Amino acid sequence: MQKKFNAGIVGLGTYVPDRILTNLELQQIVETSDEWIRTRTGIKERRIAAPEQATSDLAYESAKRALESSGVTPNEIDLIIVATNTPDMFFPATGCIIQERLNAQRAAAFDLEAGCTGFIYGLVAADAFISSGIYKTVLVIGADILSRVVNWKDRNTCVLFGDGAGAAVLRPVETDRGILSVCLGSDGSGAENLTIPAGGSRLPTSLKTLEEDLHYIHMNGRDVFKFAVKAMGDASKKVIAGAGLKQEDIDFLVPHQANIRIIESAAKRLKLPMDKVLVTVDRYGNNSTASIPLALEEAVEDGRIKDGQNIVLVGFGAGLTWGAVAMRWGSTGIL
């Protein structure tokens, strides 16, 4: 289908909880060490939500900041997409909770679950709505509180994850700006490699599922690592080619912040030097759907990302899923 408009990000906002959990503190609660965590993951610390905070609270704060950044009012929002793996509850959708708190009276709202790739999936959905002319203003939020679903006795997973939220306002932009190419994928044959087994209709909550710790993240780290490196490299190459660009045309790669080794391996596959790769995993850990908007907003705010630059956003996650977006940065809408 021929695009009527190019969709671009016209505002960003992020939020992370105040509580910082360092590797040194983790040493006190699980058999690990600062050196073990840093050398294997690149993580030094992560943020942890306060007991009274839910995913919608983090998402709301990031959404407010994104609206302020864009100059868009809540009443101008046509659609709210919340990418999350840790919704406030099964239903209603966290997006509907955000819609009410923002007083975005005109907005439709839904949640989207695609593992840590959720923010990319949300951007692609927003691009489809805007480029087709169905909607003009879409708010995409990635928010997760993974600290509530990690087993703090499992050193292989509890050291990895943190909490946070990031939001983007998308609108039509000039034809030489915005989203140029997209790629989404999934492979359900790898679903068991990254999962929370219980709590749904397959294994409803019971005394047995609680005793067996089936409500926490279970991960086959080795297989996920191999999948992630290949998926992020292949997806990035696909959107670069789809945008009519070459790898040397890319100014910045914004990868999902899962593990520094995965990030470095993906950059190597793309022949990109690490000074062209945005990295925040050392300070925030893997905060799932929030990791890409957090890294992106930081680079925009400090001036590294400038108008007219070519950037690639790429992620992977439970499902197994993957996705990438090639963009030419330009934050001025044409409405």
User: What's the CATH number where 119 sits?
Assistant: 3.40.47.10
pLDDT, tens digit (0-9, with 9 covering 90-100), for 110-132:
999 999 999 999 999 999 999 99
Do residue 183 and residue 160 come from a single domain?
Answer: no
Do residue 188 and residue 165 come from a single domain?
Answer: no
Do residue 213 and residue 167 come from a single domain?
Answer: no
| pLDDT band at residue 175 under the 50/70/90 scheme | confident
Report whether pLDDT(246) > 80. yes
Count of domains in the chain? Answer: 2
**The last residue of a domain, from among 157, 176, 195:** 176
**The last residue of a domain, from among 135, 157, 176:** 176
Give me the pLDDT at residue 238, please: 98
The total of other beta-carbon atoms located within 10 Å of residue 152's CB is 13
Catalytic residue among 193, 256, 259, 287: 256
Distance CA 118, CA 290 (A): 9
Give me the pLDDT at residue 320, please: 98
Do residue 187 and residue 131 come from a single domain?
Answer: no
| pLDDT band at residue 200 under the 50/70/90 scheme | very high
| pLDDT band at residue 334 under the 50/70/90 scheme | low
Report whether pLDDT(34) > 70. yes
Do residue 229 and residue 142 come from a single domain?
Answer: no
pTM value?
0.97
Could you tell me if residue 333 is inside a domain?
no
Q: Show the tokens assigned to 286.
A: 């893997």
Domain that residue 317 falls in: 179-328
Do residue 19 and residue 139 come from a single domain?
Answer: yes
- Reported for 186-191, long-range contacts at CB under 8 A and 24+ positions apart, including other chains, are 186/114, 186/319, 186/320, 186/321, 186/322, 187/227, 187/319, 187/320, 187/321, 188/319, 188/320, 190/223, 190/227, 190/319, 190/320, 191/318, 191/319, 191/320
Do residue 30 and residue 154 come from a single domain?
Answer: yes
Could you tell me if residue 65 is inside a domain?
yes
Report whether pLDDT(259) > 60. yes
pLDDT, tens digit (0-9, with 9 covering 90-100), for 293-304:
999 999 999 999
Do residue 93 and residue 138 come from a single domain?
Answer: yes
Do residue 156 and residue 288 come from a single domain?
Answer: no
Could you tell me if residue 119 is inside a domain?
yes
Do residue 56 and residue 167 come from a single domain?
Answer: yes
Do residue 160 and residue 240 come from a single domain?
Answer: no
- Is 158 noted as a catalytic residue in this protein? no
Could you tell me if residue 87 is inside a domain?
yes
- Is 23 noted as a catalytic residue in this protein? no
Do residue 170 and residue 222 come from a single domain?
Answer: no
Distance CA 333, CA 248 (A): 27
**The last residue of a domain, from among 126, 151, 176:** 176
Could you tell me if residue 31 is inside a domain?
yes
Residue 52 one-letter amino acid: E
- Is 286 noted as a catalytic residue in this protein? yes
Catalytic residue among 6, 193, 259, 286: 286
Catalytic residue among 116, 158, 183, 287: 116
pLDDT, tens digit (0-9, with 9 covering 90-100), for 52-73:
999 999 999 999 999 999 999 9
Under a CB-based contact definition with an 8 Å cutoff, are residues 71 and 87 in contact? no
Distance of CA 54 to the CA centre of its chain: 17
Give me the pLDDT at residue 3, please: 77
